[in-house]
Amino acid sequence: MELSIIASGSNGNCYLLQSGKTSVLFDAGKSCRETAERMAALGKDIREVKGIVLSHAHGDHYRGIGPIARRLGIPVYVRKPVYLACRQGLGPVDVRHFEDAFRIGDLEILPIETSHDVASCGFVVGRFGIFTDTGCVTVQMREIISDLDAVLIESNYDERMLKTGPYPLHLKERIASDRGHLSNEDASDFIRRYGDHLSQVFLAHLSETNNSADKVRETFESFNEDRPYVVCSRFRQTGTFRIA
């Protein structure tokens, strides 16, 4: 299976998974045009995408979905409460609801419980996990990680930068809560405790205001020494990676 990180960060998230003849986008928080351009820069053709899977109803995850789905004539896979929360924003699309494991072509997709301020989920596809937008490590995340070879996990904010930064108090509290986002420390500690066997770690969904790639690196290396990892770029496509 191949992972292409098209966009990652609080300004837009989009991941492409490809296996055999199946290409699927997970979230699409950038415009149709920017998504297509970033994919082309990685040698990928957006017209090969067979479906889009949505994790939750925040604009940085669904903003591009309506236009992409209509342009390509492809279905959107979404849990019912998530669809109800963003149906206006999606506009008319071919909706397929899921609750449990489902299949798109060669990809077997398992939703995983996350903890956010709206209905949300992560995903396990094969031996790869996508865990973003969660204020804490859920029991299901902790249990399933032993079955995985590769994980893309949110490393959203530096705890000190959030505390001393410009956000209003209520927003700081929301982000740091169990239904907000994972800090660099949370993500690095999760990998140190439970991810010793992983062959690939992608640190994702960095905040613009409360984080930097340097802070992510510094924290991850202090917890995990010389373990290899990739920090996903907020500014451009990060790359294509062969994963389990």
Q: What residues make contact with Zn ion under the rule CB under 5 A?
A: 58, 60, 133
Task: Decide if 161 contacts 181 (C-beta within 8 A).
Answer: no
**CB of residue 133 vs Zn ion: minimum separation in angstroms?**
4
Report the nearest approach of Zn ion to the CB of residue 114 (Å): 9
Query: Given CA atoms 18, 24, 30, 33 in this order, what sign does their dihedral have?
Result: positive
Using N-to-C axis directions, what is the helix angle for 80-90 and 65-72, rounded to 10°? 80
Shortest approach of Zn ion to residue 12 CB, angstroms?
9
Residue placing its CB nearer to Zn ion in the complex, 89 or 193:
89
With CA atoms as reference, report the closest residue to 17 among 32, 30, 31, 27.
27
**Own/partner pairs, 40-46, CB within 8 angstroms, 24+ separation:** 41/236, 41/237, 42/4, 42/6, 42/237, 42/239, 42/240, 43/240, 44/4, 44/16, 44/18, 44/240, 46/72
Residue 238 makes CB contacts below 8 A (sequence gap 6+) with 5, 8, 202, 230, 232
Q: Are strands 22-26 and 14-19 parallel, antiparallel or unpaired?
A: antiparallel
CB of 170 to Zn ion, least distance (A): 16
Residue type at position 110: L
The least CB distance from residue 58 to Zn ion, in Å, is: 4
CB of 201 to Zn ion, least distance (A): 19
State which residue, 161 or 244, has the beta carbon closest to Zn ion.
161
Nearer Cβ to Zn ion, position 88 or 242? 88
Which is closer to Zn ion, CB of 1 or CB of 231? 231
**For residues 4 and 8, which CB has a smaller minimum distance to Zn ion in the complex?**
8
Nearest residue (CB) to Zn ion, 85 versus 144: 85
